[in-house]
Amino acid sequence: MSKLLEGKVALITGAGRGIGREHALMMAEHGAKVVVNDLGGDEHGGGGDLTPAAEVAAEIEGMGGQAIVNGGNVAKYDDAKAMIDQAIDTFGDINIVVNNAGILRDRMLFSLSEDDWDSVIGVHLKGTFGPSHHAAVHWRNKAKAGEETYGRIINTTSPSGIYGNVGQTNYGAAKAGIAAFSVIAAQELVKYGVTVNCLAPTAWSRMTAPLMGGEDAPEELRDKISPRWIAVIAAWLASPEAANVTGRVFDIRGETLGIAEGWHLGPSATQPDNPAELGPVIADLMSKARLNASMAGTDHEGPGFPGQSI
C-alpha cells in the first residue's frame, strides 16, 4: 500500500477515542508520526485520564509507527502551544494539525448554564484556535525564513453547526464558528502553502451513541457510520494530493462524502423606508427563499418547519 503521509508529523487532538483515534491510526498507517493528544475526560468535559491516549500511542508503535502522548487541554492557550512545541522538539517539525477534541453539554437554551456555554465554546472553538494559531506561527516563520513549508489544518464542525439542531445552541454555535474559522483561515494561510479544511462528520462515537439508540442501536448502523470513514478523508486532506483543496467543509456519513456549500445570498429586494410597508416585501422574499437545510443537509419537505413562513 502506498503511504500518503510518509515522514509527516501530525498533532491530533481528542485522539484517545472515537473519531480522533481513527484519525491517529489512519495517519500512522500512512506513515505519519503522531502526537496523540487527549485530556481523557468524559464526554461532558469532566475528569482526566491519559490511558486512552497512551493506548492509541502503543497501538501505533505496535504497528511499527511512531507516536507520543500529550495530555494537554486544548482550551488552554499555553497547553496548545506545548502540543506544537512537543511535536517539533520530538519529531523535528509539525505538518498536520487535526482539531478534533470535543465535549457535549446539550440543553435547551432556557436551561443552559453559563458554564455549559463557556465549556463547550472553550473546548471546541478556542480549542480549534489554539493549536491552529501556534502551528500557523511556526509555518509563517519558516516561510519568512525561506524554508519549505508543509502545513495542513483539518478542523471538525458538525451537522448541528452548519445545518442546526434543537438542544444544541452552545455546541452548534461553536461548530458553526469552526466552519467560518476554517474558511477564513484558509484565505489567510494560502500564501504560506498551508491548507485549512473542515469535516462535518456523522459517526458512531460515545458522544453520538445516546442520540442514535445507544446500546439498542443495531450493529449494522454502527458499522455503516463507523468513525473510520471520517479518517479516510482526513488522511487524504493531510496529504500532498490535497495541496489545492482548501477552505472546504466536507460532510461525511459513512461511505457518502459531500461538500457542504456555505451561505449564499438568495433573493433580494429594495426596502421601503417605512417598516409598516415592509410586510409584503418580506412575504415575497420568503416565498422565493430556499428553506433552511435539515440535519441531513437537504431541503425540508412539507409545511410547518419553524421560522419558514409568515
Q: Sorting pLDDT into bands at 50, 70 and 90, what band is 103?
A: very high
What is the pLDDT, as a whole number, of residue 224? 75
Q: What is the pLDDT of residue 304?
A: 35
The CATH superfamily assigned to 9-260 is: NAD(P)-binding Rossmann-like Domain (3.40.50.720)
Its pTM stands at: 0.90
Give one DSSP letter per residue of 178-231, joined into a string: HHHHHHHHHHHHGGGTEEEEEEEEE---TTTGGGGTGGGS-HHHHHHT-THHHH
Helix ranges restricted to H, the chain: 18-29, 51-62, 77-91, 114-121, 127-144, 159-162, 169-189, 219-224, 228-237, 279-288
Residue positions annotated with a catalytic role: 158, 171, 175
Between 205 and 234, where is the model more confident? 234
Question: Would you list the domain boundaries of the chain?
Answer: 9-260, 266-310
For residues 177 and 115, the answer to whether their CB atoms sit within 8 Å is no
Share of the chain above pLDDT 70, in %: 87
| Confidence category of residue 214, pLDDT binned at 50, 70, 90 | low
Task: Give the Cα separation of 54 and 33 in Å (integer).
Answer: 15
Q: Tens of pLDDT along 226-260?
A: 899 999 999 999 999 999 999 999 999 999 999 99
pLDDT digits (tens, 9 = 90+) for 281-297: 999 999 999 999 998 89
Band of pLDDT at residue 298, cut at 50, 70 and 90: confident
C-alpha distances out from residue 23 to 48, 61, 96, Å: 21, 15, 11
Distance CA 261, CA 272 (A): 31
Mean local confidence (pLDDT), 200-227: 65
- What number is the average pLDDT over the span 68-94? 98
